[in-house]
Structure 1
Amino acid sequence: MNDSVRALFFINENSRNMNINQIIASELNAAEQQIQSAIQLLDEGATVPFIARYRKEATGGLDDTQLRHLDERLHYLRELLERKATVLKSIEEQGKLTPELKAQIDECDNKTTLEDLYLPYKPKRRTKAQIARENGLQELADSIFRQPESNPETLAEPFIGENVPDVKAALDGARAILMEQFAEDAELIGALREKLWNESEIHTQVIAGKEESGEKFKDYFDYREPIRVMPSHRALAILRGRNEEILMVALKYQPDETPITEQSEFEQQIAKHFNIFNVLERNKWLRDTVRLTWKAKIFLSLELEAFAKLKEQADTDAITVFAKNLKDLLLAAPAGRLPTLGLDPGYRNGVKCAVVDDTGKLVDTVIVYLHQENKMLMELARLIKMHKVKLIAIGNGTASRETDKIAGELVKMLPESNLHKIVVSEAGASIYSASELAAAEFPDLDVSLRGAVSIARRLQDPLAELVKIDPKSIGVGQYQHDVNQSQLAKSLDAVVEDCVNAVGVDVNTASVPLLARISGLNQTLARNIVAYRNENGAFKNRKSLLKVPRLGEKTFEQAAGFLRILGGTEPLDASAVHPEAYSVVEKMLAKQQISANDLIGNREKVKQIKASDFIDERFGLPTILDILAELEKPARDPRGEFKMATFTEGVNEISDLQVGMILEGVVSNVANFGAFVDIGVHQDGLVHISMLADKFVSDPRDVVKASDVVKVKVVEVDVARKRIALTMRLDDDKPTEKRDFRQPEKQQRSGRGQQPSNSAMADAFAKLKR
């Protein structure tokens, strides 16, 4: 950046940043001061969970979702500013930066418009238009454009020379110049882009000979839909079909039967934009130039942009759904600290069994075989009695039905043990088993048995165990391998971070992966905490965390409120009250003349405290109210109550289903078009959005969320295509109208060694067959 442009940029920096604040404030329906304060905190290194929880006064109570949006938009708009500076520098160096152009660049608020403005000035390879200009044909192009009533051939004759051998060469050069000028008009391109998006359709056809191999895309063998209304799941399905070379996908902007001799609406718009529409009938050369500009330059470019926009919107939609489902799964209620037997089903290699105690510590393992049923029952009964097992967690992969049946026999055999059996999702368990983390945690344990440990632990506390697995492998998204992977990873990581910090962790028992998700911490600091704990024993109070190598005051500020120390020397360390606010609690204790132990958890005493008495210049009403809520219910868990579904006896496979059956199931996944429900047949059924309730539903999550236990009725069963249509309108006896279930990626249970499917969601935490 040269000095003049640098000065121009920095002189306007404050006003530009103010525009950023205005844009984000408008999007979040917030005040500019809230946005400015949040941006300042983020720039200082504060994390979203910390700002959302402990800096409410500064941000006016912006929650974690709003702050995530703010952070994302802040990065986008700052990148836009940097790109503007680069563009301004480039155009100025060419000596073409006019006040009008500079004003247009300053005012544009998105990267697409900026690139449209920059296109005529963007350095490019030597084009036909540039060669024509070098041969002196710019004047001819201007003459033809300004004098459309004249004969182009007559106008071209004076330009014949050494580099322009004849009239045809002169006209070809003039046409190349005009086409480039037309295609680089920012205002025109913006209008055509919007028109194409609003009026075009996507048409799909199966590629000849691919009908059998592309069976899962059958719904799209001959399909069309306006691009602007196409939902994300259909867009991603169609784009996958194209990538797998099953479907031909095209963008149609006019009826196929339109005669080629007629000018399309888009070509007419180009002509009208340049005020030459009225002469096109009499000037075939200009008409052909406009047509070629549209077909050879503009449409091809805008078609690519349209598909890119469709993909981007579909990615964002799918990632949002994935993130919401992941949040529901991570915040699913834990079964609690109970000794648990994890069963990882299998035929040839047997059922891998692992017992973990009430803290999640591995205490015993064994492998048993389904074909030796009596021996298997005796061995499992021995483990249950020896370790006082209360829960049996059964992985939902291959042989899970047979293993579940054996578990049912154990429940009947040992009524005194008060056993409960739950089929849980094993999605990602095999990935964890072979990971470096699992190897470090269980160096002497066979890889196959590590999966059984994970299955048991994810029933006890899903959040603590699932943070060890790449979120993409947990199996709660759709088309996760098709969407933008960096955007997906960023979104899912943010969800995990928010969930872990919302719940908080016990610093004396938490694993490295769990600690690494705490605000302000990373893998290195998490390992240092665990190493210090192993060497010096349990932490007695939060202040002792400052003794951990590389954990300084700034990190302590970010992390301390989310780290719990139970039974330590400071009672408040077991709560979400931040150490910086302990002085407020001390004032409360002094005024009430009681000890911390007498106040914490004492609802009556807490209710007697008047929040306004403790507001000062540092701590406002939001923080005081948070402190009182925490004192009333210390370390309150935002997760709900653990529930279990009862599956119908005798309904084990999709072929067992009959239309009209009413079953209980677990919501395994929620999409924009409905909810998938696990009803115990290794194939999730779909409750279309129109079948979720007796009233209009705009968002399925308004009615259900992942891990909910619901009752459904079977509407339709397609055994061949493994599709099940369900309804939650149990009293509706009217014939169900045909629904649009275009969903080529099936909700099917994933076995061991397979890629995690989109089905298995929170069934891990809510199945019980009594």
Structure 2
Amino acid sequence: MNIIQILAQELSATAAQITAAVELMDDGATVPFIARYRKEATGGLDDTQLRTLSERLQYLRELEERKQTVLKSIEEQQKLTPELAAAVAACDNKTALEDLYLPYKPKRRTKAQIARENGLQPLADLLLNEQPQDTEAAAQAYIGDNVPDTKAALDGARAILMEQFAEDAALIGGLREKLWREAGIHAQVIAGQEQAGEKFGDYFDHREAVCTMPSHRALAVLRGRNEGVLTVSLKYQPDETPITEQSEYEQIIARQFRISDGHKWLKDTVRLTWRAKIFLSLELDALNRLKEQADSDAITVFARNLKDLLLAAPAGRLTTLGLDPGYRNGVKCAVVDDTGKLLDTAIVYLHQENNMFAALSAMIRRHQVKLIAIGNGTASRETDKIAAELVKSLPEMGLHKIVVSEAGASIYSASELAAKEFPELDVSLRGAVSIARRLQDPLAELVKIDPKSIGVGQYQHDVNQSQLAKSLDAVVEDCVNAVGVDVNTASAPLLARISGLNQTLAQNIVAYRNENGAFASRKQLLKVPRLGEKTFEQAAGFLRINGGSEPLDASAVHPEAYPIVAKMLEKQGITAAELIGNRDKIRHIRAADFIDERFGLPTIIDILNELEKPGRDPRGEFQTASFAEGINEISDLEVGMVLEGVVSNVANFGAFVDIGVHQDGLVHISALANRFVQDPREVVKAGDVVKVKVIEVDAARKRIALTMRLDDETGSGSPKNRPSENRRADKGGKPRQQRQQQIGNTAMADAFAKLRK
């Protein structure tokens, strides 16, 4: 199959859909633009399908390019046969291709090559094909100047056969998959590292099937190995199997080359090939595969959490006081107006409570503050307590206080962007500005921070960094374009995430806006330096202009579709201002009446939906958790307490919940619901407000175990508190409950080790 056919099969789409999408991408169209404004061409492929298509397209094109390189190399060696060319063409992944190429790949001079130069290839062929029992006699005829005795002859022949066995593509491919399905990983602590590597304690003697190992455990074990705490190896046979017995893998090699059971020399050659050559290579392949899968899973978790965080509901355009808590350096305060403009700053100190209370009260009254955003770092609980007193003492202000994540605020504070935005402002105060703004509009503020620094990832520093960056950038791009931006108020970093734009164009838009005033229409964007027709086509639909000369510019209707709206207006005999937002008039419009060669039914329906609710925000309604009074530290918690909290992070093994103390608690996947849960995101996502019960508190190790199954008895690690679906037998014969409990123990340890660090 060609690339288009492969992609069509993988995405369950037609070849026409894939062809159209590929052509658009090759022409420079972005995923958000194609997903929203080219539905007719692609048959309605969504952004998730298009992202997958884009990644697979790149992989398959790289594979095709590599195939051509391989074919050229083999042809230059005059070893290319029609059968080999067909086998290369049929390869559907890079691993299989490299297996085929291995015998022909230029390599350093090997023992096998030296043996062939010494004329020992015929001896190797004789020993394999005829399998004489007297190998010494067979080797006698090959003694010469470079082969002094029969031992040297047999050693050379063995080197040739070992290379031949290890370079059989079909054999290696089969053994690789068998090893992946059946092998177990064994992690052990290195002697003397027990104390230094305490955080890896759950893996000091850990065994598990490699193919089913969850990503968080795989990454933990591999990190332990990289830090010199653990040794990690693959076991391909049960420990009780005597090493002298032939393994099943060796039997497969022997059968592949029709080696007799009674031929000891050939059997020894097979054993040496497997244990000294093939297994070592396949062990490395398996561990690399484990790492790649763990990376992929961890990156997916990170991307999903980031998306949930970026699309968290904004508190809205209200004057906000941001508080960045601290003990020694004080609580940094910043007031921003409803547009995010900085109005006032101050530093107050917790040990001067009366002065702090008076200063904050004055700032709130002076600027008519409506929201107080409190960073969740050190001293947040003490700061939150004073904020609660402010809310009570100033009822006429209608104040609301919310604790928000301050992850990445310090990175933004020290960034070049923050320095340009607030050149005269102290670095410490910039963090308070960021905290205030991220409550007003999380998306607009968080795009200024490297996604990896936002703190919703799992082993984020251990995964493939380029793959992580690419995935997270895609998430940010999708989120920003799903919401859209006001071109007259958006920052350059926010504009740079819009389809078709980049940092340079975003800066040019801001510079033009500063010099010429607010944009009156989308068409005016074409006057921005270096913003041409092609870029305008990609970006215009995601840029909003409120109160401009064209009412449609405030909506997600693309300028290219304005003629369609004009026809609707003409048929209705009304103006755009009269139609936009008028549900009754819009419902009287028949979408089918406006279909033409360029715009089909999907686009017409999108236009009508947008006219009904112009510029609608896809984000949900803002909600906050009410933290329990008097619960400020782990020591304040008691087993059995039912509390309200906010989901701060979701991992494959469960969800972390902020319940108002310095450490997040963990709701293990088995305690998320009264049913079996395959993926925690089926139940919760970052930012959700949830009720939880405290089932275990370990203040010494700063561990809090929670459950969302409020009818669970305290100390609920017991099987009777687990849903029956979680007690089914798994494939390995262990009861589901037992396996979940084992996973829970190590997952909890991973999670809390990370929190403790």
Report what 2:6 is aligned to.
Answer: 23
Q: Does 1:741 align with 2:755?
A: no
Q: Does 1:422 align with 2:402?
A: yes
Cα separation, 1, equivalents of 2:211 and 2:64: 29
Query: 1:682·1:749 contact (CA, 8 Å) conserved in 2?
Result: no
SS of the residue corresponding to residue 241 of structure 1 reads: helix
2:181 to 198, 207, 225: 198
SS of the residue corresponding to residue 138 of structure 2 reads: helix
The alpha-carbon distance between structure 1 residues 457 and 499, as it changes in their structure 2 partners (threshold 3 A), is: same
Q: How far 1:746 moved relative to its partner?
A: 3.4
Cα separation, 2, equivalents of 1:741 and 1:392: 38
SS of the residue corresponding to residue 418 of structure 2 reads: helix
Code of the residue aligned with 2:746 in structure 1: it is R
Code of the residue aligned with 1:25 in structure 2: it is A
Structure 2 matches for 1:394-473, cutoff 5 A?
Answer: 394-473=374-453
Query: 1:467·1:496 contact (CA, 8 Å) conserved in 2?
Result: yes
Structure 2 matches for 1:261-660, cutoff 5 A?
Answer: 261-276=244-259, 279-280=260-261, 282-660=262-640
Query: 1:201·1:227 contact (CA, 8 Å) conserved in 2?
Result: yes
Cα separation, 1, equivalents of 2:718 and 2:3: 48
Instruction: Pick which of 247-256 and 616-625 moved more.
Output: 247-256
Code of the residue aligned with 2:406 in structure 1: it is E
Q: How far 1:720 moved relative to its partner?
A: 2.8
Report what 2:210 is aligned to.
Answer: 227
Q: How far 1:412 moved relative to its partner?
A: 1.4
SS of the residue corresponding to residue 29 of structure 1 reads: coil
Report what 2:648 is aligned to.
Answer: 668
Q: Percent identity?
A: 78
Code of the residue aligned with 2:56 in structure 1: it is R
Q: How far 1:244 moved relative to its partner?
A: 1.0
Higher relative contact order (CA closer than 8 Å, sequence separation 6+): 1
2:194 to 211, 214, 236: 211
Report what 2:674 is aligned to.
Answer: 694
Structure 2 matches for 1:4-153, cutoff 5 A?
Answer: 19-153=2-136
Instruction: Give the TM-score taking structure 2 as reference length.
Output: 0.95
Structure 1: gaps (5+ residues): 1-15, 752-756, 758-770
Q: Deviations over 1:89-115 (max 9, x none)?
A: 000000000000000000110000000
Cα separation, 2, equivalents of 1:289 and 1:656: 67
Cα separation, 2, equivalents of 1:447 and 1:359: 21
Q: How far 1:677 moved relative to its partner?
A: 1.1
Query: 1:683·1:749 contact (CA, 8 Å) conserved in 2?
Result: no
Q: How far 1:750 moved relative to its partner?
A: 8.1
Query: 2:308·2:687 contact (CA, 8 Å) conserved in 1?
Result: yes
Q: How far 1:213 moved relative to its partner?
A: 1.8
Cα separation, 2, equivalents of 1:748 and 1:175: 50
Report what 1:187 is aligned to.
Answer: 170
SS of the residue corresponding to residue 141 of structure 2 reads: helix
The alpha-carbon distance between structure 1 residues 649 and 90, as it changes in their structure 2 partners (threshold 3 A), is: same
Report what 1:768 is aligned to.
Answer: none
SS of the residue corresponding to residue 449 of structure 1 reads: helix
Code of the residue aligned with 1:130 in structure 2: it is Q
Cα separation, 2, equivalents of 1:237 and 1:484: 15
Q: Deviations over 1:587-628 (max 9, x none)?
A: 000011111001101111111111101011100000000000
Q: How far 1:655 moved relative to its partner?
A: 2.2
SS of the residue corresponding to residue 72 of structure 2 reads: helix
SS of the residue corresponding to residue 751 of structure 2 reads: coil
Query: 2:663·2:755 contact (CA, 8 Å) conserved in 1?
Result: no
The alpha-carbon distance between structure 1 residues 748 and 325, as it changes in their structure 2 partners (threshold 3 A), is: farther
Cα separation, 1, equivalents of 2:121 and 2:701: 62
Cα separation, 1, equivalents of 2:26 and 2:442: 33
Query: 2:579·2:585 contact (CA, 8 Å) conserved in 1?
Result: yes
Q: How far 1:210 moved relative to its partner?
A: 1.6
Q: How far 1:285 moved relative to its partner?
A: 1.3
Query: 1:202·1:227 contact (CA, 8 Å) conserved in 2?
Result: yes
Cα separation, 1, equivalents of 2:753 and 2:277: 44
Q: Deviations over 1:396-420 (max 9, x none)?
A: 1111111111111111111111111
Query: 1:251·1:303 contact (CA, 8 Å) conserved in 2?
Result: yes
Code of the residue aligned with 2:482 in structure 1: it is A
Q: How far 1:348 moved relative to its partner?
A: 1.2
Code of the residue aligned with 1:338 in structure 2: it is L
Report what 2:730 is aligned to.
Answer: none
Deviating runs (4+, > 6 A) in structure 1? 748-751
Instruction: Pick which of 538-547 and 240-249 moved more.
Output: 240-249
Query: 1:427·1:750 contact (CA, 8 Å) conserved in 2?
Result: no
Cα separation, 2, equivalents of 1:123 and 1:394: 62
Query: 1:683·1:747 contact (CA, 8 Å) conserved in 2?
Result: no
Cα separation, 2, equivalents of 1:475 and 1:747: 15
Cα separation, 2, equivalents of 1:362 and 1:448: 14
Cα separation, 2, equivalents of 1:746 and 1:374: 39
Cα separation, 2, equivalents of 1:502 and 1:29: 25
Code of the residue aligned with 1:274 in structure 2: it is F
Query: 1:397·1:749 contact (CA, 8 Å) conserved in 2?
Result: no
Report what 2:142 is aligned to.
Answer: 159
Q: How far 1:721 moved relative to its partner?
A: 2.6
Query: 1:396·1:749 contact (CA, 8 Å) conserved in 2?
Result: no
Code of the residue aligned with 1:343 in structure 2: it is L
Cα separation, 1, equivalents of 2:753 and 2:187: 26
SS of the residue corresponding to residue 95 of structure 1 reads: coil
Q: Deviations over 1:148-175 (max 9, x none)?
A: 1331111100111100011111111000
Q: Does 1:172 align with 2:155?
A: yes
SS of the residue corresponding to residue 617 of structure 1 reads: coil
Q: Deviations over 1:297-320 (max 9, x none)?
A: 100000000000000000000000
Structure 2 matches for 1:688-767, cutoff 5 A?
Answer: 688-733=668-713, 735-737=716-718, 739=741, 740-743=744-747, 744-746=749-751
Query: 2:406·2:435 contact (CA, 8 Å) conserved in 1?
Result: yes
Q: How far 1:576 moved relative to its partner?
A: 0.1
SS of the residue corresponding to residue 745 of structure 2 reads: coil
Instruction: Give the TM-score taking structure 1 as reference length.
Output: 0.94
Q: How far 1:21 moved relative to its partner?
A: 1.4
Report what 1:8 is aligned to.
Answer: none
SS of the residue corresponding to residue 741 of structure 1 reads: helix
Cα separation, 1, equivalents of 2:648 and 2:132: 69
SS of the residue corresponding to residue 746 of structure 1 reads: helix
Q: How far 1:719 moved relative to its partner?
A: 2.4
Query: 1:646·1:664 contact (CA, 8 Å) conserved in 2?
Result: yes
Aligned length: 732
Query: 1:683·1:748 contact (CA, 8 Å) conserved in 2?
Result: no
Query: 1:672·1:700 contact (CA, 8 Å) conserved in 2?
Result: yes
Code of the residue aligned with 1:307 in structure 2: it is L
Code of the residue aligned with 2:102 in structure 1: it is L
Q: How far 1:688 moved relative to its partner?
A: 1.7
The alpha-carbon distance between structure 1 residues 519 and 661, as it changes in their structure 2 partners (threshold 3 A), is: same
Code of the residue aligned with 2:510 in structure 1: it is V
Cα separation, 1, equivalents of 2:405 and 2:548: 36
Q: How far 1:747 moved relative to its partner?
A: 5.5
